[in-house]
Structure 1
Amino acid sequence: MKRIFLILMPALLLLLAACSTTRVVDREPADGFSLSSYKTFNFYEVSASGDSTVPDAAYRQGVTMLQREIARQLTLHGLHQAANPDLEVNIGLVLQEKVQTRQTDIREAPRYVGQRRYSWKSEEIEVGRYKEGTATIHLVDRAQNKMVWRGVVEDVVSPKASRREAQVTAAVAELFKDIR
């Protein structure tokens, strides 16, 4: 029994890792971009605008989590945070509520007896609602005031606060995985 468990456990872990909803939409470095050319970084001031149904505290918490994780990734790449940086980080954050639907099929049609003009058509049925978050990260060369790298990542936002921190960590790590 123990041997079967040891054999199946790696396969189960690979299957769970494949179920991640994090998706890197885009990574776009400028021509000649090298992160090793920079020594310091800092963040632009982030402000909310537009039609927002997200409470300001929740928005700030999301931005803070992103900033903390981006700072960690840039530090791992040899940069350090400074008041007068070489590289500035701009964060764009969009949160959208989405509706999950499924389409009915003929097997779900009610059975009628004796009606000649009965018609049935397929329709979309709502089965759930969820929030999808998109984070856009711009790295800007401060001396040239020019964007030198852009990355976009999307994920379904967990309703559990404890899970969101892990999602942000995984999403930013995935986004910065191949940056050089």
Structure 2
Amino acid sequence: MAQPLRLFFSFLVLLVVTGCSPAIHTNTEAVSGFNLNNYQTFGFYEVDASGDALGANYQQPINYLQEEIARQLEARGLTRTTTDPDLLINLGIVVDEQVQTRETSILTDPPNYIGQRRYTWKAREVEVGRYKEGTVSVHLVDKDQNELVWRGTAESILESKPAKLQEQIAQGVQKLFNALPQ
């Protein structure tokens, strides 16, 4: 009897842990005839980031992203180089702060005081939270032809803690590169 109960609680914990992590949505597209095995080396375009919306720690998530992409490509037999790579990687990163709201209701948010005859109550939007939503686009460019050969995008609500964000980036990049044609 203890074994089924333990199994049930293990399943429940797994369900809660996976249910709390934000979903990562991906989309990929390859040029006809693209084969990753045709390339030996890869490198990154320089990341040019600017704007008022950049946080003070924007470079660390970019480093996480580049490290994870390098890990995925090296696992597929490519070598990272800074001099004359066969395949160049262009990254596009967009992070938007979103505001979560709800509409007030006369049932859940009744008026506190009704003392005048002409008093009216109106539904309104109330802010209940803020979160960041991120999208990364990865473009693989054939250096010799200077043409895009594969593109992938991943988007999700971003984790706020750096360790969780690094884990989320790893999961997103792995999901993207699992769709990469070999």
**CA–CA distance in 2 between the matches of 1:63 and 1:16?**
26
Give the whole-Å Cα distance in 1 for the aligned partners of 2:178 and 2:172.
10
For this pair of structures, how many residues does the alignment match? 178
Partners of 1:132 and 1:28 in 2: CA distance: 22
How far does residue 150 in structure 1 lie from its aligned partner after superposition?
Answer: 1.0
Match of 2:143 in 1: 142
- Bigger CA drift: 46-55 or 132-141? 46-55
Report the counterpart of residue 88 of structure 1 in structure 2: 88
Give the direction of change, closer, same or farther, for the CA distance of 1:179–1:46 in structure 2 (3 Å limit).
same
Whole-Å separation in 2 of the counterparts to 1:46 and 1:22: 26
Matched with 1:158 is: 159
Q: Quick check: 2:28–2:179 contact (8 Å CA) kept in 1?
A: no
Identity %: 45
Give ranges in structure 2 of 5+ residues lacking alignment.
none
TM-score, normalised via structure 2 length: 0.87
- Aligned residue for 2:46, secondary structure, equals coil
Question: Does the 8 Å contact 1:38/1:79 carry over to 2?
Answer: yes
The 5 A counterparts of 1:92-107 are 92-107=92-107
Counterpart AA for 1:166: E
Alignment partner of 1:54 is 2:55: yes
Which AA in structure 2 matches 1:95? V
2:26 touches 2:175 (CA, 8 Å); kept in 1?
no
**Amino acid paired to 1:100:** Q
Letter in 2 for 1:106: I
Question: Deviation at 1:25?
Answer: 4.0
Q: Which amino acid aligns with 1:5?
A: R
Larger mean Cα displacement after TM superposition, 33-42 or 46-55:
46-55
Separation in structure 2 between the aligned mates of residue 35 and residue 11 of structure 1, nearest angstrom: 40
Question: What do residues 8-29 of structure 1 show as CA deviations (whole Å, max 9, x unaligned)?
Answer: 4235424532443142242111
TM-score where L is the length of structure 1: 0.88
The 8 Å contact of residues 100 and 128 in structure 1, kept in 2 or not, is answered as: yes
In structure 1, the residue matched to 2:177 is: 176
Kindly provide the CA deviation profile for residues 14-53 of structure 1, in whole angstroms up to 9, marking residues without a partner as x. 4532443142242111122222222211101111123334
| 1:114–1:99 distance in 2 versus 1, CA, 3 Å | closer
Superposition RMSD in Å: 2.0
Mapped to 2, the partners of 1:68 and 1:127 lie a distance apart of 35
State the AA in 1 paired with 2:118: R
Q: Is the 8 A contact 1:24 1:175 kept in 2?
A: no
Runs of 4+ with deviation above 4 angstroms: 111-114
Instruction: Give the 3 Å change call, closer, same or farther, for CA 85–22 of structure 1 in structure 2.
Output: farther
